[in-house]
Amino acid sequence: MRRWKSPVERLRADAGSAALEFITAGLILLVPTVYLVVALASIQGAQLAAAGAARQAARVYVQADSDADASAEASAAVRFALADFGLPHDAATVHVTCAPRQDACLTRLGTVTVTVTVRAPLPLVPDVLDMQKDASVPVQAGSTQRVSRLWGAR
């Protein structure tokens, strides 16, 4: 005749399910943690790309010979900086502000501020649903450079 165990005896008994419990709990905790690390790495890469692009664009802008050349060279600097991080050049928006006058950026001792906004794509988002724009995190960086006091004397 079979003896029925009490609930306490059943809890104390080790039936060998620890490995299965460890694998199940490990997967439940490990998969979201790995995704979080990969997503944060993508966001950090986009932030570094935006900071480098803004810094280079501002440096190039204040060393140009004219406003038209400055705009073209700054755009090229942003493209190169984004390419270094594997981001497409259309992933960024660039905004240039000048002081003391917005219409003439390259004036002696003026300042040029370049702000670059990049959308960091989240990993493993399929292109099928056209959610790439919604499933991204915008990051922004800016850099300010001063135009040389000898700018017009070249």
User: Residues 97, 89, 56, 60: what is their CA dihedral angle, to the nearest 10 degrees?
Assistant: -70
Query: What's the burial of 78, exposed, middle or buried (CB within 10 Å: 0-12/13-18/19+)?
Result: buried
Contact 141, 116 (CB under 8 A): yes
Residue 6 in domain: no
Residue 76 in domain: yes
Domain that holds residue 32: 17-153
Residue 120 in domain: yes
pLDDT digits (tens, 9 = 90+) for 67-86: 888 889 999 999 999 999 88
Residue 8 in domain: no
pLDDT digits (tens, 9 = 90+) for 25-43: 888 888 889 999 999 999 9
What does the block give as tokens for 78?
């942003």
Contact 109, 23 (CB under 8 A): no
Those residues with Cβ within 8 angstroms of residue 3's Cβ, 6 or more apart along the chain or in another chain: none
Residue whose C-alpha is closest to residue 58's, from 140, 113, 139, 117? 113
Residue whose C-alpha is closest to residue 51's, from 147, 144, 135, 122? 144
Residue whose C-alpha is closest to residue 42's, from 98, 141, 125? 125
Residue 93 in domain: yes
Residue 86 in domain: yes
- Mean pLDDT, the chain, rounded, equals 84
Those residues with Cβ within 8 angstroms of residue 137's Cβ, 6 or more apart along the chain or in another chain: 43, 46, 119, 120, 122
How many domains, in total, are found in the chain?
A: 1
pTM value is 0.76
Q: Is the pLDDT of residue 109 over 50?
A: yes
What does the block give as tokens for 44?
């950090």
